Chain A
Amino acid sequence: MNDLARYERRRRIMYGWMLLSPALILLSLFAFIPSAMTFWSSLFSRGTRRNPSEFVGAGNYDLLFADPTFAKVVVNNLIYAGVTIPVSIIIALAMALWANSKIPARGFVRTAFFTPTILPMIAAANIWLFFYTPGLGVLDQIGALFGFGSVNWLGRPETALWAVIIVTIWKEAGFFMIFYLAALQTIPPDLKEAADIEGASRWTYTRRIVLPLLMPTTIFVAVNALINSVKLIDHLFILTKGGPSDASKLVLYYIWELAFSYFDRPQAAALTVMVLVVLGITAAIKFIILDRRTHYQ
């Protein structure tokens, strides 16, 4: 009997590893080894025909910190994150509260909010190009009605990043809405009734009851919005290509440019490592601190 149990146990271990092996091999090939390789290649100089690549330690990082474009893209990305995260969350919350209230044509309203979510970022950028084109674009035409002159939204350093930010918000707010909508539907109606009996105003009810109950959703949405602020850069390829003079360039776009336009792999690697560190810290905060307060499993 004991032998049988031991045999059974060993069999389970073997099956467990066997079942996991495809996933582990693929994850190693396309996530873990590349991460390690990124770190490794960030420590070597860029090899040319005359000067072969050599170990430079933190040299690439020093170069990056001395690079004005690096400073620019980091600041741009901080603005991008700092605006898109809270604004998308607030709009998503407003959308959800409305899409959950008893207004007429609620189905249409929900569809209108959610549809941009399923478009490719490239398509969204093409659509918005129509709005931003100077002279011909919709925004200029609307502006002209009010007597404003033509503005080159995408071609001016002051406005280019904002034009990009608006497209991102347009794209992601409807996605976040559905999570709020789902959370709102789990709030028991008794709470609303109790608040009514107590004579609480709608604002008080929303602020004191609804928002605290939505907190786990807000955290979930915020983490997603943060990840999006790193990875949603496809529209830059259509709208601005990071310009004018780097005014709308974001970190991931710069990584792409360093690696595939300037063929400066070590610099790209150093920048990638920094992004991975930031993402790692985010992951740690999420798993260790935030998940302890919310319950699932």
Chain B
Amino acid sequence: MSDAVKSGQAPLYVAAPKRRFRPRLTLALDTFAAWTLAIVWIAPLLFAVWAAFHSTSDAVNFNLAGAWTLDNFRTAWDGAPWMRYFLNTFLLVTVVLAGQLVVTTLAGYAFAQFQFPGRDVLFIIVLLQLFILPEVLIVENYAMVSRLGMFDTVFGIGTPYWASAFGIFLMRQAFKSVPKELDEAARIEGCSWFGVLWRVYVPSAKPTYLAYALVSVSTHWNNFLWPLIVTNSETTRPLTVGLSLFGAPESGVNISVISAATIMSIAPLLIAFLLFQRQFVQAFLRAGIK
């Protein structure tokens, strides 16, 4: 481009000759630095994967020639009711997501398409919740969940996340971009408000739903502190809490077995991520920027 400009017009400015060599050197340096950082960044995870498949003595001595083994996974699997934990986590993310989709869709629709007094004040109040982190209110939310009789149930863990301010905000943005004409056309066809929501708004917000679902599932698959507080038994405890109990120093489990348990519990989400990386990244972006 700059050459074209220079040849086309009288050269106002002639670049110093060394500039021609610089791009290649810069690229080499960039590549080196980026690869180094990338390797440093992924190394802990790769190392944990490698260690999970080797005996403890091979793992701590970096014996790269050591034999691969599944023993750690066997030991880990027998050490805790993982199947139950997987099921609990699966139920938890399902309950959270289902509740969130209903509540945020209805509220987002109201904020986007209904004019009524007090709406804008309400919206600001909802946004406040973005900063009243559920994590900070653990003490009183624990009291509330116990009062409602939901202690140690999947609903006890999930319900406090249903009215996600963030989700309401996302849905409102998505619904706002739906043309009014579509809405009116559907009404003239005789659709009720619910019909309009279901046939016009929900389908047009599909990418937002997908993004929100991915973010919600990965957040709640990984959530720890709140489930730790409101669960008390094997039958509700999600994977993260189970994993923390399993790896506790008091339980005297060795480090290769902890690695195996860790890899096991992150595997579903990790594999999903590696397969659908683009969708995941897009989802986080769509959910974040707005």
Contacts and interface: CB of A to CB of B under 8 A. Distances in A.
A197 B11 CA distance: 10
Contacts of B26: 202
A22 B30 contact: no
Interface centre among B38, B126, B218 (most CB of A within 10 A): B38
A127 B259 CA distance: 7
Interface in B82-120: 102-104, 106-107, 109-111, 114-117, 119
A128 B44 contact: yes
Given A133-B255, A233-B225, A272-B136, A23 B240 contact: no
A269 interface: yes
B245 to A, nearest CB: 10
A27 B129 contact: yes
A32 B144 CA distance: 12
A101 B107 CA distance: 41
How big is chain A's contact interface, by range?
Answer: 35 or more
A141 B137 CA distance: 42
Interface residues of B, number: 100
Interface in A4-29: 12-13, 15-17, 19-20, 22-27, 29
B45 A115 contact: yes
Interface of B: 1-2, 5, 13, 15-16, 19, 26-27, 30-31, 33-35, 37-39, 41-42, 44-45, 47-48, 51, 60, 62, 102-104, 106-107, 109-111, 114-117, 119, 122, 125-144, 148, 159-160, 162-163, 165, 168, 193, 218, 221-225, 228-229, 239-240, 243-244, 247, 255, 258-259, 261-262, 265-266, 269-270, 273-274, 277, 280-281, 284-285, 288-290
Contact of A20 (B110, B221, B225): B110
Interface in A181-200: 182, 193, 196-199
Given A23-B104, A30-B144, A94-B37, A182 B285 contact: yes
